[in-house]
Amino acid sequence: MAGKSPLVVVGDALLDRDLSGHADRLAPDAPVPVVADCAERVRPGGAALAAWLAARDGRDVTLITGLDDGPAARELRRLLQPWLELIALPMSGALPEKTRILAQDRPVARLDRGGGRVREATAAARAALAAAPAVLVSDYGRGAADALREELRRRPPVVWDPHPRGGPPTPGTRLVTPARSEARGFAAGLRGDRPATGTPGAPTGEATGPRSDLRTVTEEAAALVRHWRVGAVTVTLGARGALLSYGEHPLLVPATADHHGDACGAGDRFAATAAGLLADGALVGEAVEGAVTAASAFVGAGGAAALAGPSPTSGPSHASGTPHASGPSHGAGASAHPSGTPHPPGPPAPGDDPADVIARVRAAGGTVVAAGGCFDLLHAGHVGLLQAARRIGDCLVVCVNSDASVRRRKGEGRPVNPLADRVRVLRALACVDAVAVFDEDTPERLLAELRPDVWVKGGDYAAAELPEAALLQEWGGQAVLLPYLDGRSSTALMARAAEGAR
């Protein structure tokens, strides 16, 4: 398995079982569906799923988890042992089992049993952690991470996937990956109150309001970074992707596609991918982008329920390796409307006046997104940024520099394309709802007139500056960064064209 760094996973394993059949009638003695002709599928769950997915990616994996000697633990050992090294921690009680009952591939009920908890660490577990090149903590609140907390303080994990019933991540962890509802619950705990809506463990993608949710997530993530003293927090947002915070301006990584499949296990796919990429030397932003892509593909392929169990000799499964929940809508890529509104407004007519577009969207309770730039020679980087920006809300207004503004910024000979052409090309994009022009060097005056809910900029997270962020806070807006497609720029296009003309 050359080329991929080994990974040690510490956490709480579950045995997941799906009973999947069809339902076409209600029971005569109660108004409940009768699920008939059930097929049974058994797979690793919890930390065991995260470890199994990492191993299926072609990585050497060691899983440190609690196991007893009962039938569920024996079945889990059978599933895991061909794929990874297993270090068992002693438990009090039986291994937790989760059984979903599905009709037409939709969950209708869940049965939980087994309340076992890890009693203590072992010498083998401590030795494995001391020698680990990279550690992923997949905490499901059953005691494994707590039993090894002192060792994890000395060897901070690259990723910590937290749980409302578990302890906080250890200081120095590079990346913590709560779901939206979990981040809300953790932040409420810092304030000493209850979450405004939802509870930890509720489906992600819920919103306190389409205009306020992104700002709320940003504030909560920044607060958690500071309180936990970790490198970064990324909050998974279902179909919206994930929001990454180092404590200041956030990077919003959109999902590559909006899938309506089974999201069970998407968070484990996200955490396993992010941990693997960080172990291999990726930057945190790169790891989050890769994890969002993998989680989205995972949901599109059917989620954990669609995983097959070939032996390692048949090679890693690319479907599973393409990025916790053993529950619904935890990871990035799970379906939800981008702004969280149950009945989003229809798309504005292209080429409309920006003020009219904004007024109609706001009247329908939608979210107004704005992005800006010269857009002189439109290229794939521009288009990807604008498409991602549009998915954040319910309309996109592009703020474009006038010819004089471009000339002052870029020098003589620019723009190559005059303002009328640039505006026409932008309006032709399906993701653009309106275009507004500003003549100043910066768009502050125009932003103060439009008052968007979200202002988007593209660029490298570490190097980017958001001078407009303070202005947007005056009306409760939020400035965010979006990943920019590397190697694409108007200047580079012009240089290649000039070289080719010689």
The first and second tokens of residue 375, run together, are 């857009």
Please state the length of the chain. 502
Q: What are 458's two structure tokens?
A: 């593209």
State the Rg of the chain over Cα: 24
The DSSP annotation for 32-60 comes to -B--EEEEEEEEEEEHHHHHHHHHHTT--
Q: Which two tokens stand for residue 97?
A: 């089992």
d(CA 263, CA 299) in angstroms, rounded, equals 5
Tokens at 44, concatenated: 């690793």
Q: Smallest Cα–Cα separation from 430: which of 341, 351, 335?
A: 351
| Separation between Cα atoms, residue 292 and residue 286, nearest integer Å | 10
Tokens of 1: 């398995």
Catalytic-labelled residue, pool 18, 268, 403, 433: 268
Structural contact between residues 9 and 136, judged by C-beta atoms closer than 8 angstroms: yes
Task: Give the 3-state secondary structure of residue 142.
Answer: coil
The token duo for 39 is 């097929």
Q: Beta 97-103 vs 106-113: how paired, if at all?
A: antiparallel
268 is known as an active-site residue: yes
d(Cα 385, Cα 456) in Å, to the nearest integer? 9
Q: Provide the greatest CA pair distance for the chain.
A: 84
Cβ atoms of 260 and 322 within 8 Å: the answer is: no
Q: Which DSSP string do the residues of 70-117 spell out, in sequence order?
A: SHHHHHHHHHHTTTSEEEEEPEESPPPEEEEEEETTEEEEEEEE---E
99 DSSP β-pair partners: 17, 111
- Which residues, other chains included, contact 188 with Cβ-Cβ below 8 Å and sequence gap of 6+? 194, 195, 196
Coil, strand or helix: which one is 98? strand
Residue with tokens 């952690």: 129
Distance CA 46, CA 319 (A): 19
To which H or E segment does residue 396 belong? strand 395-401
Give the residue numbers marked as catalytic. Answer: 268
